Structures are given as C-alpha cells and as structure tokens.
Structure 1
Amino acid sequence: MSLGSIAVVVLATVVLVLSPVLALREVKVEGSHTVAETDIQEALSGLYGEPLARISNDRVAAALSSIRAIQAFETRIEPPGTLVIILNERQPLGAVSRGGVFVVVDAAAVELWSQPEAPEELPVILVEADPTSPSFDAVSRVLLALPPEISRSIEGVRASTLDDVRFTMRESSHEIIWGSAERSREKARVLGPALVAAGAGRPAIIDVTTPDSVVVRQRD
C-alpha cells in the first residue's frame, strides 16, 4: 500500500471516530443495585454529543465522583452512540447515629446515604465511623466475617478496645462477646448453633471469644 493510500485510510479513520455519528447519545448502566440509573445518566449528561473516542475513563470518573456509592466502574462502548457503565457498588456495612439521623457507611467509613430511622437490616455501629480508628476497623472486620443472616439480625455493635467487640441481637436481645477480630471465621461458624441453643426466651450472654469453648449464660 502506498503512502498516499495509508494517509487516506488514517484520515478516514480519524474522521469516522470523531464523527457525530459516533457521538454519545445513550448511557446504559449494569451492576446497579442501590445507585439509580437515572442518577448516572444525569451525572454524565454533560458528555452527551461528544465523540465516544474523546470520553476517557478519567472524564467519566470526574463526572461520577459525587455519587459516593460507586466504588469502581468499567466502561464499554456499543457503537454507534452508547456508553455502558459497569458498576462495582460500595456495600453498606452499618449505620452510625449522627445529628439526629442515621448515616449508612461501608467498611471504609464512606458515607453512602442517611435516613431518619435506624435501618431494619443493618446494625447500628456504636463507635466513630473513622477509617483510621482501630475500634472501627475491628468492628468492620467482625461484621464482614459474619454470614448475612446473622449480620442482618444485629441491633448494635460496639468496641471499647480492639479485643472487646460486642454486639446485641435485635429480636432476642442476646449479647455476643466477640473479642478481637482474630479467628472471626471460626467464631462466625460457632455463633449460629450458640444462638439456637440460647433460644428466644430470656436474653443470654454468648461468649465466642474462644471459639473452641463457647460459653452461654443468662444475662443478669
């Protein structure tokens, strides 16, 4: 192929890529559970009409930066004019009481949303939601290790020290002494049977600090 032919091909490619035919006209969202698709589309509205080739991930990230529930994303182009956003959303860990409302946070203490009442299926975190706080780190590790069916049943969780994570079950009012975040997977495995053994009657204290020797006793 001659140099002239190559130049024509390159020029045609550039013209096609930058053509209004391949401009952004539609935004689709995949992987959205808590983030509304309309919020994504509105955030990217300033990019509509621009050639898809000029819409970098950095520009998309800047446009989406105000939506805190987005942890990461990928993009895919579907010619002639569609940009697909594949979301990886932050997962709510629990809620902290602040200023008369309950602020839902993830494991990195990122604030996701607020609501007037305590969430029904999230525990209230009774320590400061600070990513540099050892107590919050310990609480986060414990909650992440718990099976969803147990974490959804926790009313409140606290930690006075790294080795003293405790939480209260919502319906039974059983108090769980967890201890440190170490051996959390083993503790999570023995907690289920211990809750069954304690029953739904008088509130009990269930100590799984040492998962090899669980202690269940009645609360005073």
Structure 2
Amino acid sequence: MAPSPRKPGVPRLGSSGSPTSSPSTAEDHGGTSFDEPPLVAGGSEDPGGSRISLGRSAKVTVLHPVDASDAGTRDAEVGDAVDGSDDRPSRAARRPAPVLAFPVPRAKRVRRRAILAVVSIVAVVAAVMALAVFSPVLAVRTITVEGTKMLAPAQVQAALAPLRGRPLPLVTPSDVSRLVAPIVQVKSVESRAVPPNTLLVTVVERVPVALVKQTDGYSVVDGDGVQIATAKDPSAYPVPVIDPQGAHMSHDTFLAVTGVLSALPADVLGQLATASAESVDSVQLKLSNGQTVVWGNAQDRDLKAKVLQALMKSAQNPAQGQAPVNVFDVSTPWHPVTR
C-alpha cells in the first residue's frame, strides 16, 4: 500500500508558548527554522500572546480567535491528518462561532439617505404651509373694492364683512361671489389676495340700457332685463324709455328689446328716446331727433350696431342736394337702407 501523502509541517507550541519544530517538519521545509512565531496568512498577533487567524471568503471576512490553549488541539488535528484520522466534528463543536462582518451595500445607503432627505423636506414644507394657512399674520384686514360706478365701495365691503379675520389663503372666489350675490347691481366679481392682509375685489356692474315706465316712476333695467335701480327722473339715466306698451310685452319680446339696446355703443344709446317691439322680430328704436331705426330681430346685433353707427355718422354730414335721412333700416345689415 502506498503511504498517505504527507502534509506541510505546522509549527507547534511548546509548554512555554513558543513554537518548536520537529525534525521531519524542518526537513520538509528545506531547513526552515521556526524560531520566530509565524502568523497565519492574513493574521496578526495580539498583545496577550494569542494568535488571530483571518479566514477569507469571496464576500465577507471571518474572524476566528486562536489562543495558546488551542495549540494542542491544532497539533492533534495535524497529527490526525497525517495518520488519516479526522477529528473535525469534535473540533468544530469546541470552536467558537465565527463573527461575520457584512458591509452595507452602497446602493442601500444612498437609498436610505434619499428617503430621509425627502421625508425631511416634506415635513418642512408641511410646517411652512400650515403656518401660512392658519397663521393670524395672514388674516384679512383690508378689503379693497374696484370697478364700481352705480354702487358705493362701502356697500360691497359691508357684504364681504364676514371674511374679515379669515386667513387670506382660505378665502376663495366662490366665497366672495356668494356674499355679493344679493347685490343686484353686481353682474360678476373677481377677487385676488394681496399679502399679507388685503383682499382685492373687482366688480363688474350691470349696465343700464333702458327705463321701463312704472306707475310711480321708472325701473332701470340692464341687457338681461334685470331691474337694477329705480328712478323718478328719466334724465338721470341717458338710456331710452321702453314704450309704455312694453308693459304688455311678452317676456321674450322684452328680452329682445333689452338685448338690442345692450349691443349699441354708448354714444348711440345716449341718442335714443324710446324702444318698442310688437314681437321679437320687429324691434324699432326712436332717436331723440325724431329719426327711426328699423332693427328687426335680435340676430347679428353686433354687426347691426356697427352699421347703424356708420349710417348715423354719414347722415350728420349729407352730400349737397341729398335729402335728410328719416329712417335707418338695418334689419338686413349686409344691405342697409336709408330713406
């Protein structure tokens, strides 16, 4: 039988803890002397005289403490290896459990830092928003009203009084519209916050286009037929008076007349004396100088208004020998007629 292969000699510890070598070991190493205590590859010697063996793997480092008392066991392992016997199970049972030092992956560290940064930013923004929204520093203290002619700004400010003291960011346009809705002269409203304490409100008023004769005076109406005021003297408003027969007009006919009047430029509207209609297709206007405007229906009212304005301007400076104009017929705006 062939002899079992011999393994390299291992330095042995004597009773004093210093390494010794057997003759066979020295011979195997070519006469190498073990007078100095060698270190296991990658290891180091601690101040207490024990040796530290560093095992290596592909990914982690395994630390195995080795002391002088374990030297005898190591010698026995070497002897067993030479004799062919193996006492590794008992050795493993006595050996301390290895300590594994797993490094934290760089990607995981970066992701953790990014999450912490995002959470911190969100917390700061939430705190600032809460301070801005609920802080009394931004409460409404001044309400500025613009765009009023018929109304006094104080009327709108009084209607918006419930908004005073409310945080400015919490005031919405719907809140402003709801509070001014009872004021009939207001057609629409826009609001804008002006930090730190001012609410700017811009009012679009209803425009009076006609007076409607009533038993005790006149009602002032706009282009939608909404009564926006009353008047005792018709001269207070430079708008035409709807013919007294308008009291018997249907609602659609009345809206047709007011719609026509709302399309007229202010300079033309100021020259009208009356407006009348027997139906929605027969609107007629009477100027204060006696001239008549045959308007027809309410279609193409913007185009008809421009044509009428041009005809009236031309009639003011008639050509020599031309008869004065008594009727402006714009019922067909592409083919207007004067006579």
Fold shared per TM-score above 0.5: yes
**Aligned counterparts, 1:11-26, within 5 A:** 11-26=127-142
Secondary structure of the equivalent of 2:280? coil
- For 1:214, the aligned partner's letter is T
2:296 corresponds in structure 1 to: 179
**Aligned counterparts, 1:112-151, within 5 A:** 112-118=228-234, 119-126=236-243, 127-128=246-247, 133-151=251-269
- For 1:193, the aligned partner's letter is S
Structure 1 Cα separation of the partners of residues 124 and 295 of structure 2: 71
Q: Indicate how the Cα distance of structure 1 residues 72 and 21 shifts in structure 2: closer, same or farther if over 3 A, else same.
A: same
- For 1:151, the aligned partner's letter is L
Structure 2 Cα separation of the partners of residues 28 and 204 of structure 1: 50
Asked if 1 retains the 8 angstrom alpha-carbon contact of 2:211 and 2:242, the reply is: yes
Q: Does 1:101 align with 2:228?
A: no
The higher relative CO (CA closer than 8 Å, separation ≥ 6) is in: 1
- For 1:22, the aligned partner's letter is L
Offset of residue 80 of structure 1: 1.0
1:165 corresponds in structure 2 to: 283
Q: Does 1:47 align with 2:168?
A: no
- For 2:202, the aligned partner's letter is I
> After alignment, is 42-51 or 206-215 more displaced?
206-215
Structure 2 Cα separation of the partners of residues 181 and 52 of structure 1: 44
Normalising by structure 1, report the TM-score.
0.81
Asked if 2 retains the 8 angstrom alpha-carbon contact of 1:194 and 1:206, the reply is: no
Q: Indicate how the Cα distance of structure 1 residues 9 and 205 shifts in structure 2: closer, same or farther if over 3 A, else same.
A: closer
Q: Indicate how the Cα distance of structure 1 residues 128 and 189 shifts in structure 2: closer, same or farther if over 3 A, else same.
A: farther
Offset of residue 24 of structure 1: 0.5
Offset of residue 15 of structure 1: 2.5
> After alignment, is 181-190 or 159-168 more displaced?
181-190
Structure 2 Cα separation of the partners of residues 26 and 189 of structure 1: 47
Q: Indicate how the Cα distance of structure 1 residues 9 and 143 shifts in structure 2: closer, same or farther if over 3 A, else same.
A: closer
**Aligned counterparts, 1:33-44, within 5 A:** 33-44=149-160
Aligned length: 208
Secondary structure of the equivalent of 1:93? strand
**Aligned counterparts, 1:49-88, within 5 A:** 49-88=165-204
Higher Rg of the two aligned structures? 2
Normalising by structure 2, report the TM-score.
0.55
Secondary structure of the equivalent of 1:66? coil
Offset of residue 151 of structure 1: 1.1
Offset of residue 109 of structure 1: 1.1
Identical aligned pairs, as a percentage?
27
Offset of residue 38 of structure 1: 0.9
Q: Indicate how the Cα distance of structure 1 residues 6 and 180 shifts in structure 2: closer, same or farther if over 3 A, else same.
A: closer
Structure 2 Cα separation of the partners of residues 154 and 138 of structure 1: 16
- For 1:179, the aligned partner's letter is G
Q: Indicate how the Cα distance of structure 1 residues 193 and 141 shifts in structure 2: closer, same or farther if over 3 A, else same.
A: farther
1:218 corresponds in structure 2 to: none
**Uncovered stretches (5+) of structure 1, i.e. residues with no partner:** 198-202, 216-220
Asked if 1 retains the 8 angstrom alpha-carbon contact of 2:140 and 2:164, the reply is: yes
Structure 2 Cα separation of the partners of residues 205 and 49 of structure 1: 62
- For 1:39, the aligned partner's letter is Q
Question: C-alpha offsets along residues 112-139 of structure 1, whole Å, 9 cap, x if unaligned?
Answer: 1111121441111232599x83322332
- For 1:180, the aligned partner's letter is N
> After alignment, is 141-150 or 17-26 more displaced?
141-150
Task: Report the aligned-residue RMSD.
Answer: 2.7
2:208 corresponds in structure 1 to: 92
Structure 2 Cα separation of the partners of residues 179 and 123 of structure 1: 17
**Uncovered stretches (5+) of structure 2, i.e. residues with no partner:** 1-116, 319-323
Structure 2 Cα separation of the partners of residues 75 and 212 of structure 1: 44
